[in-house]
Amino acid sequence: MDSPTTPTPPLTSFRVLAFDIYGTLIDEPTALRTQLAPLLARRPPSAGPPPPFPTLLATFNALEHAVCAATPSLPLPAVMREVYARLAASLAVAPLAAEAAAFAALKARAPAYPDTVAAMRALGRRYRLVALSNIDRAGIAATLGGALAGVRFDAVLTAEEIGSYKPDRRNFEHLLGWVGREFGAGRGECLLVAQGVASDHVPAREVGLWSAWIARGRPAGEEGWEGVGEENEGKVGFRWRWGSLGEMAREVEEVFAEEEGRGRGGEEG
């Protein structure tokens, strides 16, 4: 993806789909809400009412990004323990070892969105599937054997093996180098599919990688780049936007079916 004026390629032109996992395929917000419940229950009345969940989610994301950026070699469970400690402090709650341990495993234990598995199976019939995730090997193994059981990835690329966390450009360059070597796929034949704007779509544009936004939870009626946040305006270049992975899978099937129909028509002619 060279610039916003570059013509958008057809979905049938891609050979590889690269997926962010947590937040795109996995319902991390629901897992976070569950893990925050005991902290909020222990919040002293003198601290006032707790922030609404969207504010807590934004704080969690900001803390995770800050810790990952400051300590890129720190394993994800240790990152999550530090995020927990900072969240507890922000809520005026004393940290507990058991809660810290549960928080460290938050991603690995989080459920998939209801549409994820069926959509990924459908997309896997059309493309090679690659996971590009801010996770460690043990964590992604737990997810693949649990919430994503039945989903087949052709490759799994983790922050642990890359040595940095998204949005570091090295993660995306690693992805492009890997699919080029292993699949013979060029930069223009790989499509990044992600929910995270700053973590995925901003660096995707920086490295010239096509991307699609799975805009889960956004208000109905939004279009294009609406809702990416003022801090990301002018920094994203995704050309497709769907409200769920299921919506994406359905459109992909329609596009492929249409192309195949044209092909059969040409043969008959």
Contact 25, 113 (CB under 8 A): yes
Q: Which of 20, 136, 168, 200 is catalytic?
A: 20
Does the annotation count 20 as an active-site position? yes
SS3 content of the chain, % helix, strand, coil (to 5): 55, 10, 35
Please give the single-letter amino acid code of residue 167: P
Per the omega criterion (within 30 degrees of 0), is the bond before 167 cis?
Answer: yes
The two most distant CA atoms of the chain are separated, in Å, by 78
Give the DSSP letter string of 148-215: TTT---SEEEEHHHHTS-TTSHHHHHHHHHHHHHHH---GGGEEEEES-IIIIIHHHHHTT-EEEEE-
Give residue 87's region: left, alpha or beta (phi > 0; psi -120 to 50).
alpha
Q: Which residues are catalytic?
A: 20
